[in-house]
Amino acid sequence: MNLLSRLLPRAWRSPAAPTPVAVPQSRRRAGTQSASNSSPTIYGSGFGSYFEALRQSADRSPLTPFGVMAGVRTHVSGIERTMLSSLARAVYDNGGLPSLAVNLLSFYSGPVRPQANTGDDDVNDLYEAYFGEWAKRADFYNRPEMDFWALQAAICQSVDLDGDVGVLMTAESGFPQVQVIPGWRIGSGFEANETRAIDGVAMDSKGRVTGYMIQGEDSEPVTVPAGQMMLVRDPSPSSVYRGISPLRRGLNDIRDSKDIQAFEKLAVKHNAALLGVIQGAPLDDDHGFNLSPTGYGDDGEPLGDGEPPNDATQGEKKLSRNDMLGGDIPVLPEGREFKRVESNRPNAAYIDFLDSLAASFIAGLDLPPAFILDTKLTGPSVRGVIGKAQRKFNQRGDVLCRLVEFVWVRVIAWGIEYDDLPAPPGWARVTFNRPAKATIDAGREAAQEREDQASGLMTRSEHYGGRGRDWQTEVDQIFREERYVIDQAAKIAASTGVPVETILSRFGYAAKAPAPQPEGKNGPSGKPGGKDPTKKDEDP
C-alpha cells in the first residue's frame, strides 16, 4: 500500500479520471415537475414555517423566491433551506447593507494561505511554490479571475448566503481542481429513497457521514464520497449535518427596512412635488386652478406665460419672473388663499428607527452593529467593538483553515504521486497564515511589538502573522535587502573613496547613541562632572 492509498479516492489512482458533477446552468421554476413528484408551493410552506423569515404577512411586500428552486422535491427542510438561500441572495443583490456585511466577513476572514511544516526548510519552500502555482489554476470552471484565494472569498460569501457550500476535488483536467457545489444543489429531496440520509447527507448505521448526494444532470442524484468533497459551513446547534444561512435571523428586519424606505421616499417625492394648496373657494369645472396669467394684451392677442394682464398696476408689472424671485407670482381671486405645504420627512426619529432595524440585521450575522454602522464611540468602545468582530473573523477563519488543509493535503499528495515531489516524514503537516487583524492602534501596537520582540516575549511568527505575512519570507527579504545595500555601498566607496561607513549611515547603519546611564554612576546627575541637583548654586 503506497503513500496515497488511504488519502486519494480510488478513481484518482486509476488511469481514468473521475467525472465531475455536472451542474446545469439553467434552473427550472418550482411546480414544473410531474404531479407525483411536485413540491409544495412557496406560500404553502411559509405560512406555518418554523423560521420567522419564511412566514407570510400581508403587511410585508411579497417576494417570491423562485431563484434557486430548481431541484426541490418533497423534503421540507430542503425547501426551507432553499427558500432562505433565495431570500438571502435577493437582499444581498438588492441592498447595500447586506452586501457590505457579507463582503466584510470575507474581507477580514480570508484568504488563508497554507505554510508547509515538514521540518525541512527546502521541502517547505518547494511545497509552497508548487501549491502557489497550482492555486492559479484551481478553479474547475477555468475562470481566470478565480484563483484559489478568490475561491475562498466566494466560498465564505456562500456560507453566509446559502448556509453551506460543497467543495469537490476532481481531477478531470489531469490535475486536482476545486469544483464549488452550491448548497441548494445538495439534497433536494431525492434522498427520501435512501435508508440513511438527512437532507442530502448520507450516513452509516451509526450516523457518521459517508457522502453527499448532489443533483446532477436531468435531476439524477450523484453520490460523492465524503473523502472527495468537503461541506464548508459554520457549526450550528440547530442543524447538525447541514448549514443554514445566518441571514435568516435578520431577513425580516432588512426587508421591512427596505419597504419603509420605499414608502418614505415616495412620501418625500409627493411633498417635493406639491408646493402648496389654494384654500377658500370651490374648484372650477376642471377641478383645478389655472395660475397662469389670463387676459389679452393691447394688441388683442392672448397673454403669454409671465406677462401681466392689462389691468395690472405698475408695481405688479415689475414683479416678473426675471426681476424678482425667479418664479411666477400668481394673482388669486378674492376669497382664495395660498398656503405652502411644509414637510418634516424624513426626520431624526425615522433615521434612528432604520438604524435599529439595520442593527438587528447585523447582529444576526454575529457581528456587533457598531462595526458597520456609523456610531459615535469613544476609543475604548471602538476597541471593544473591533475585538468582538475579530472573534467572529477568527471563527470564520477556522472554517477556512479546515478547507485549506483539505485542499492542501490532496494537492501535495498529487504532486508526490505524479510530479516527483519529495515525501519526508510529516509531509502533510501545514500551518496557516491568516489575514491581518482589524485594529485602530496599528502604530502603538507596532511599537509595543518591537519591544516585545527585543525582549524575547514575542516571536517573529506572531508578529508577522498578525499582519497577514509569513515570517520566514519577510526575514529572507530583509537579509536580501541588507546584503544588496552593503554590497552597493562597498562598490561606491571603492570607486569614490568615500568611507563606506558614511554611505551606510544614510541607510540607517549609523552607530546608535549610548543609552543614558542611571543616576549616580558618574556624579549625582548621571553625567560626568554633573552637579548635584539638590544643592543650590552658590554666589561667587
Q: Where are the domains of the chain?
A: 275-340, 473-505
Q: Tell me the C-alpha distance between 540 and 536, whole Å.
A: 12
Give residue-wise pLDDT tens across range 370-383.
999 877 788 788 88
Calculate the average pLDDT of the chain. Answer: 76
**Average pLDDT, integer, range 173-193:** 79
What's the pLDDT at 533? 52
What's the pLDDT at 189? 52
What's the pLDDT at 437? 84
- CB neighbours of residue 109 within 10 Å: 23
Q: Which residues contact 85 (CB under 8 A, 6 or more apart)?
A: 68, 161, 162, 163, 183, 184, 245
What's the pLDDT at 2? 53
Per-residue pLDDT for 530 more than 60? no
Q: What is the pTM of this model?
A: 0.66
Residue 324's alpha-carbon distances to 266, 310, 337, 402, in angstroms, are 32, 20, 21, 73
What's the pLDDT at 300? 62
CB 84 within 8 A of CB 345: no
Buried b (16+ CB within 10 A) or exposed e, 60-85: eeebebebbbbbbbebebbbbbbbbb
Per-residue pLDDT for 291 more than 90? no
Which of 329, 336, 279, 281 is closest to 308 using CA atoms? 329
How confident is residue 362, by pLDDT bands cut at 50, 70 and 90?
very high
Q: Kindly report which listed range (18-27, 361-370, 419-428) carries the lowest average pLDDT score.
A: 18-27
Residue 223's alpha-carbon distances to 126, 173, 191, 201, 203, in angstroms, are 35, 21, 10, 9, 12
Most confident of the ranges 89-103, 257-271, 436-450: 89-103
What's the pLDDT at 70? 41
What's the pLDDT at 73? 37
Per-residue pLDDT for 140 more than 90? yes
Q: Tell me the C-alpha distance between 111 and 399, whole Å.
A: 11
236 burial class (0-12, 13-18, 19+ CB within 10 angstroms)? middle
Q: Given the C-alpha cell 438527512, which residue does it identify?
A: 198
Q: Tell me the C-alpha distance between 98 and 81, whole Å.
A: 19
Name residue 431's amino acid: T
Per-residue H/E/C for 64-101:
CCCCCCCCCCCCHHHHHHHHHHHHHHHHHHHCHHHHHH
